[in-house]
Structure 1
């Protein structure tokens, strides 16, 4: 199982050193699209920088496997109501239905087999017509692919990730019957943030 506790202390520094503000900008670029009073599920929220962007009326469930990451996220100043859950999302049992799911740079931490299980679980927890905001890496050329490979090597060593390649996210959303509504590109078009809507 991946363990991001060891890198939580320098994760934001590393992220900024490599990507500048692009990770944070892409992760939160569609938050202003979310209406008041929405119930929101965030998976893999890391150190919680995205939490600064939410409204007081938003109710958020924040799932993060790393206890060290959660401790940092709890220190983020936010006006929203947050329920922090330190658990593996594949073992998490949703008790509520959500209007929005947000997965910022977390689906790349799973193999395709586990992603299919995750999609089935998350889809059930999303209200009819609910939306999923997904942000991750979409390499466009050989240089991008080499860069992604090096990142996997780094996180396999530092966090015991045990994943070596990106799944086909577009195919997964199509397979599980989500409709692409909007998208935005960041960091030389290697990062994409997308809004998908549940259609069944």
Structure 2
């Protein structure tokens, strides 16, 4: 498996902190509370640094595509009850919380329906999905920075997109209802809490 983040992995959290402070980490763990007895699924959590403050409360699965990132996540979350897995999420079990931290902006539009169907099938009836990611930038400085960020990731990690997915539309089409949203940087960074829609 090609490791697109092999070069960036050791410094990724430091670069993120320089650019965004603690905002990305805060967004990633938003809505994670009352975790006692809950099973959590984290997909694309990178080096796991964002989840480190909650490590002792985390039980479930951690999936990551980058071997380098997964290696760091195992160390950062060594005090957790998480089982670590390399590759694409395979499904097959149920979780109370499913976290998608800054990972869906790497998906192509045509990949969303199958992936979100797998997420639906992996969620308990009362379960919640937490999406944290970049949304359309609001100010000129943000727009320029975001373009530079995409350009940087396309060079360093073979990032496949030059824009952002329409998350709300994909989640709505997949049968999810938005319960709550938190915003940072004028809405450029958001955390959204979803549940399965009762049709």
Q: Give yes or no for TM over 0.5.
A: yes
**Residue range with higher mean Cα deviation, 51-60 or 114-123:** 51-60
| Number of residue-to-residue matches in the alignment | 196
Q: Tell me how far apart the structure 2 counterparts of residues 53 and 95 of structure 1 sit (CA, whole Å).
A: 28
Asked if 1:177 is matched to 2:175, the reply is yes
Query: Does the 8 A contact of 2:64 with 2:70 survive in 1?
Result: yes
Deviation of 1:122 (Å)? 1.4
SS at match of 2:61: strand
Q: TM-score, normalised by structure 2?
A: 0.90
**Residue range with higher mean Cα deviation, 187-196 or 61-70:** 187-196
User: Which residue is equivalent to 1:51?
Assistant: 51
Q: Structure 1: where are the runs of 5+ without partners?
A: none
Q: Tell me how far apart the structure 1 counterparts of residues 70 and 193 of structure 2 sit (CA, whole Å).
A: 25
Query: Does the 8 A contact of 1:183 with 1:194 survive in 2?
Result: yes
Deviation of 1:168 (Å)? 0.3
Q: TM-score, normalised by structure 1?
A: 0.90
Q: Tell me how far apart the structure 1 counterparts of residues 48 and 25 of structure 2 sit (CA, whole Å).
A: 10
Q: Tell me how far apart the structure 1 counterparts of residues 161 and 79 of structure 2 sit (CA, whole Å).
A: 35
Q: Alignment partner for residue 110 of structure 1, among 107, 131, 143?
A: 107
* CA separation of 1:84 and 1:77: change in aligned 2, threshold 3 A: closer
Q: Alignment partner for residue 119 of structure 1, among 90, 109, 116?
A: 116
Q: Over residues 126-184 of structure 1, what are the superposed CA-to-partner deviations in whole Å (9 max), with x where a residue is unaligned?
A: 11231100101112435233332221111010001121111100111111111111111
User: Which residue is equivalent to 1:20?
Assistant: 21
Query: Does the 8 A contact of 1:19 with 1:187 survive in 2?
Result: no
Give the alignment's Cα RMSD to 1 decimal. Answer: 1.9
Deviation of 1:194 (Å)? 0.9
**Residue range with higher mean Cα deviation, 63-72 or 185-194:** 185-194
Question: What are the residue-to-residue correspondences of 1:148-167 with 2, within 5 Å?
Answer: 148-167=146-165
Q: Over residues 95-129 of structure 1, what are the superposed CA-to-partner deviations in whole Å (9 max), with x where a residue is unaligned?
A: 31111110010000111111222111111111123
User: Which residue is equivalent to 1:7?
Assistant: 8
